[in-house]
Amino acid sequence: MTYQETINYLYASAPLFQNIGAGAYKEGLSTTKALDTYFDHPHRKFKTIHVGGTNGKGSTSHSLAAVLQSAGYKVGLFTSPHLVDFRERIRVNGEMMEEEYVVDFVENHRHFFEPLYPSFFELTTALAFKYFADQKVDIAVIEVGLGGRLDCTNIIRPLLSVITNISFDHTQFLGSTLKEIATEKAGIIKHSTPIVIGEHGAESDPIFIEVAKREDAPLYFAEDQNLNLENINFQLKGDCQEKNLRTICTALNILQKQLNISAEHIREGLAHVCDLTHLMGRWQTLSTSPLTICDTGHNIGGWQYLAPRLQKFIDEGKRLHVIFGMVNDKDITHVVALLPKQAHYYFTQASVNRALPAEKLWEISTNFNLKGSTFASVKEAHQAARNNASPEDVIFIGGSTFVVADLLTP
């Protein structure tokens, strides 16, 4: 098979969550453990850091990887979802895995995994762990896929676990209250393994404290740490990244006791996160005339930071054009309620089955006095915004990871 044929096979054979949502979710770790045994437990051959949470876990994972790269380690990075190329999920020192490796993995091992009917994420996790072992990485930063307790990354025994924050997302799987969601996320807390919690929460704190005590895991709340962050030039910008930075630096302070990481490594890595790891879609500037920005924030927690930042452009007297789409399993009404009223909207839908139809999104938005038109694709919406915008205006693209993915895909 060619690489593209292999990717098409994976998408067709193993349900892809980003396309179909709940139908791709597979509870339990039995398939993951079967794959892990078959491949001779590859995750035991390198050190790991485990990063979970609702928002910010991707930025946190990339930032930790960037610092470890600056410190001279050979670093694996496993994140999801991808924006343009499947191989974005699995990187070593910022470079995507080779197409040939993906092809060989499927051709050489499909006889074993096909009868298991693994989910796409189960198979991808097995692929990532095997690749990192074969590449002989020193350490890998592993982002949780969904939740924590039953996520298939949760077979690792990390040096450190991080939970960035807790807010409402994937409630059909993780629970309808913050307490229930925190309980699932707390599943990555391991015995005697330090755990960093990025943000306090009245409902989540007691859960984390209880589980950490039960597991005899040293617990650190990043917001309580006395850190000097003033001299750090963090390449990732925005109010949400300021909170992420505190979480990241708390984690790095703990890792300095176990790994060879200097203050200079930290400054260098954080100043060049995107350059070192090729992170995309985090308040990413695509052009300057007009200023065009995209961001993958896609739930209430993310938009609590994004909405005020967009409003600031309006307060500065700029005309704001927002290309906006969401998927149908998010809390759409509460996100739309946060959007700036004075912007002009280009309602659209990403090219995944979960995408909320643009007309439905427009209908919901009219209840909040948002003004705009509907477009059949992200590219059409973007072109319309470019046609309408003057060089002094601002164009923003977001609402869903998959809207940004469609925008960035050639």
User: Tens digit of pLDDT for each residue in 93-123?
Assistant: 999 999 999 999 999 999 999 888 888 889 9
| Strand 90-92 versus strand 95-96 pairing type | antiparallel
C-alpha to C-alpha distances, 121 to 13, 25, 118, nearest whole angstrom: 12, 9, 8
| Chain mean pLDDT for the chain | 91
In the chain, domain spans: 3-277, 284-408
**Secondary structure of residue 179 in the 3-state scheme:** helix
Q: Which residue do the tokens 């078959």 mark?
A: 38
The pLDDT of 335-356, averaged and rounded, is 94
DSSP single-letter state for residue 237? -
State residue 21's pLDDT score.
45
User: pLDDT tens digit string along 196-239?
Assistant: 999 999 989 999 999 999 999 999 999 999 998 888 999 998 77
CA dihedral 154, 157, 159, 163 (to 10 degrees): 20
Per-residue b/e over 38-66, b at no fewer than 16 CB within 10 Å?
ebeebbeebbbbbbbbbbbbbbbbbbbbb
pLDDT at 383 over 60: yes
Contacts of residues 241-245 at CB distance under 8 Å and 24 or more positions apart, as own/partner, are 241/59, 241/282, 241/283, 243/56, 243/165, 243/198, 243/199, 244/56, 244/59, 244/60, 244/63, 244/164, 244/198, 245/63, 245/270
Nearest CA-CA partner of 325 in 338, 310, 336, 309: 336
Lowest-confidence segment of 171-180, 304-313, 335-344 by average pLDDT = 171-180
C-alpha to C-alpha distances, 354 to 152, 338, 365, 376, nearest whole angstrom: 22, 22, 19, 15
Topology agreement, domain 3-277 and domain 284-408: no
pLDDT at 252 over 50: yes
The pLDDT of 274-293, averaged and rounded, is 94
Per DSSP, helices labelled H in 49-150 are 57-70, 99-113, 120-134
pLDDT at 245 over 50: yes
The pLDDT of 253-279, averaged and rounded, is 96
The pLDDT of 263-289, averaged and rounded, is 95
CATH number of 3-277: 3.40.1190.10
Q: Which residues contact 264 (CB under 8 A, 6 or more apart)?
A: none
Fill in the amino acid letter for 381.
A
Nearest CA-CA partner of 136 in 51, 68, 201, 45: 45
State residue 27's pLDDT score.
62
The pLDDT of 240-254, averaged and rounded, is 92
Confidence grade of residue 22 (pLDDT, cut at 50, 70, 90): very low
State residue 279's pLDDT score.
93
State residue 24's pLDDT score.
43
Q: Assign residue 21 a region: left if phi > 0, alpha if psi is -120 to 50, beta otherwise?
A: left
Confidence grade of residue 4 (pLDDT, cut at 50, 70, 90): very high
Is the separation of the CB atoms in 70 and 269 below 8 Å?
A: yes
For 8, other C-beta atoms within 10 Å of its C-beta total 12
Lowest-confidence segment of 15-19, 62-66, 73-77 by average pLDDT = 15-19
State residue 217's pLDDT score.
98
pLDDT at 146 over 50: yes
Measured distance between the N- and C-terminal CA atoms of the chain, rounded to whole angstroms: 23
Q: Which residue do the tokens 């924030």 mark?
A: 297
Sheet holding 371-374, edge to edge: 284-288, 291-294, 394-398, 320-324, 344-347, 371-374
Phi, psi of 265 (to 5 degrees): -60, -40
Cα separation, 344 vs 365, whole angstroms: 12
State residue 15's pLDDT score.
55
Q: Encoding tokens for residue 322? A: 């927002």
**What is the CATH T-level fold of the domain 284-408, as seen in this structure?**
Protein-Tyrosine Phosphatase; Chain A (3.90.190)
Report the percent of the chain where pLDDT is more than 70.
94
Phi, psi of 379 (to 5 degrees): -65, -40
pLDDT at 329 over 80: no
**Secondary structure of residue 408 in the 3-state scheme:** helix
State residue 20's pLDDT score.
40
The pLDDT of 20-39, averaged and rounded, is 75
Q: Encoding tokens for residue 65? A: 């990887």
